[in-house]
A and B are shown apart, each in its own frame.
Chain A
Amino acid sequence: MTGAAGGPQLDRPIRVLIAKPGLDGHDRGAKVIARALRDAGMEVIYTGLRQTAEMIVNAAVQEDVDAVGLSVLSGAHMHYFREVAAALAARDAADVLLFGGGIVPDQDLPALAELGVGRIFTPGANTNDVVDYVREAVARIRGAGAD
């Protein structure tokens, strides 16, 4: 996303919004990931619980984040990723990296990829992999924006 100043700032720290959409209160994973990204030097905003897609995208735009990570364990991931992807596009923020984690079966990955969703981390994922992924994916997006 291009900041208000115009043009991407390539050297500013990566800013990530970690969000819990919907009614599910299981927040262990969201908090662990938020902490891992923060420890890796990123600026992390955690939304807290019970967020609608609109609330999440508002926060993402206001905070001018590079990436939004959704944590969904309730089985409603298709619904929430679709809504958040659409709301990001509607706010001209489709270049924000959308990724996630939770209880998501492999069968749903192609449909999520079609929505433009990046990696999905499932139980057993290593937080170092999440950090590496966000760093590389954001660098790629920033690089593309600078061309």
Chain B
Amino acid sequence: MPARVPRAGGAYNAGMKPKGAWLSDDYEAATARMPERDAPFETLSGIPVAPLYTAEDVRGFDEGAQLGYPGAFPFTRGVQASMYRSKLWTMRMFAGFGTAEQTNERFHKLLDAGQTGLSTAFDLPTLMGYDSDHGMALGEVGKCGVAVASLADMEVLFEGIDPEKITTSMTINSPANAIWAMYLAMAERKGADLAKVGGTLQNDILKEFIAQKEYIFPPAPSVELVIDTFEWGPQVAPRFNFVSVSGYHIREAGSTAVQELAFTLADGIHYVRKALERGLDVDEFAPRISFFFNVHNDFFEEIAKFRAARRIWARQMRDVFGAKDPRSWMLRTHAQTAGVSLTSRQPLVNVARVAIQALAGVLGGTNSLHTDAFDEALALPTEESATLALRTQQVIAHESGVTNTIDPLAGSYFLENLTDEMERRTLAYFESIDALGGVEGAIEAGFFAREIGDASWRQQRDIDERRRLVVGVNAFEQEAQEVPIQLVDPAVVAVQRERLAKVRRERDASAAAAALAELRRRAKEGVNTMPAFMQAAHAYCTLGEQMDVLREVYGVYEEPVLI
């Protein structure tokens, strides 16, 4: 009698019947007695999910190639060897509203509550490069973030905060160069050494064209402004992540998880290509490229997304772009729970959604995390709701036990299968985008707008038609719950306008004019703009003045209207 040997692949017990036989015998019998529920057995991205995963689903799985060890290529299991056993993720809550004084006060409260980094939300006029007293700013000043129109506002915003000790993330894109220069100028005036100042600038203009739509200039010069920071940043502020390539907004605009993953990495690749075209050395800039992903409801798909992202990026950087420094291969990421998943009905239920999403981010190995407050489908978070959101992270970190071991779900038949599938679908999207001439070509062709528009429409119809249930929205509905909301004081506008008028009155007018002239010259000649932005920041040029110079040189962009 022949000895029993494991079958090819060797991963499953030879005494066990094949999965196909189990499905046709046992599972079929069970569902004949009790039929499957009428539910969509697929991920939010539409990837079909089987009733069961076994070793057969990962047959041929090469642990070394697909996973490796944490802290080593391809970083599927995390970018640091000791991950959360050494250092928990950074708990970084996005905050900003009203005046610089009010946001500064919130920053101090968040730091006192145990938060470990800051994250600044700017108001829409700032995001669009208008001063607070511009006509287009009416009604918007201080509403969904803090207004920063000059170095004077930046100095108030970070009063009492040491930029060498606290890292700050700034969600700013079109005017990112100017705002970064204001932050660094503020740090310099406090006597800080820029080599020790850390933080993250979002500065991801491509996803603005794809999803969030806060662009000012056309795509080509906008990307060149980003590449100016790739060139200048490592020389001057080497601890600063000068870009945070963002899928968050792509997902909020209604994309699937696969689209979020694919479009974000395609954007990152586009920046790398552009930086190489400028003659930069990949290992000089790549270690400071950071990422920002959404964490949505589909628990396993989200975990798979983070793991696949790290693996795809590592392979692209090493094998396609020839990066030699392992730090260039690492995808370091921030994550935020999905604002779009929050509902205004029964808003307290959002606490549960956020906790599950945050847990997925942690099991996905995120390096930093923002948890949304439960009242964000109604208004800006209150101090209490923002604190509860931070406490949710602290419970995961200190009570749940998931931080005891690294990447605890590795080897799960289902999760590894799903991680591989997301990688496959992402690579297929890369081909479609390249066929359109890369990301800029795909933007012009309306590819992203159509892809995201169709996906968001499908998701909405699934909810409207009750193919997918959302608690409190199309199932288990109940009377409205009243919760207190955060109000923004209308006096903000007056405070902000006064400070702006004072800046214009008291600054050295000739120094301001000279800085703007230098900015114009550099923009026109295609020379790195960052030194001129630093000069303009120190000269108290306003954000609107600086952006007006660039509007004149580059023109403004209007997207084609598509439904």
Contacts and interface: CB of A to CB of B under 8 A. Distances in A.
A28 B253 contact: yes
Interface in A25-48: 25-28, 31-32, 34-36, 38, 44, 46-48
Contacts of A49: 213, 559
A31 B452 CA distance: 11
Contacts, number: 110
B379 A38 contact: no
Contacts of B376: 103
A126 to B, nearest CB: 5
Given A23-B140, A106-B482, A44 B563 contact: yes
The number of chain A residues touching the other chain, given as a range, is 35 or more
Interface residues of B, number: 48
Contacts of A48: 558-559, 561
Interface string B459-487: 01101100000101110000010100100
Interface in A45-83: 46-50, 73-76, 78-80, 83
Contacts of B166: none
Contact of A103 (B139, B377, B559): B377
A28 B457 CA distance: 9
Interface in B480-529: 480, 482, 485, 488
A123 interface: yes
A25 B212 contact: yes
Given A35-B457, A46-B561, A124-B472, A105 B378 contact: yes
B356 to A, nearest CB: 18
Interface in B126-158: 127-128, 130, 136-140, 143-144
Interface of chain A: mostly helix, strand, loop or mixed: loop
A32 B377 contact: no
Contacts of B127: 23
Interface of A: 22-28, 31-32, 34-36, 38, 44, 46-50, 73-76, 78-80, 83, 103, 105-107, 122-124, 126-128
Given A35-B453, A35-B457, 14 more contacts: A22-B139, A31-B453, A31-B457, A32-B254, A34-B563, A46-B563, A74-B140, A103-B379, A106-B482, A122-B344, A123-B343, A124-B377, A126-B473, A127-B461
6 contacts: A74-B140, A83-B139, A103-B379, A107-B485, A123-B342, A126-B464
Interface of B: 124-125, 127-128, 130, 136-140, 143-144, 208, 212-214, 252-254, 340, 342-345, 376-380, 453, 456-457, 460-461, 463-464, 470, 472-474, 480, 482, 485, 488, 558-559, 561, 563
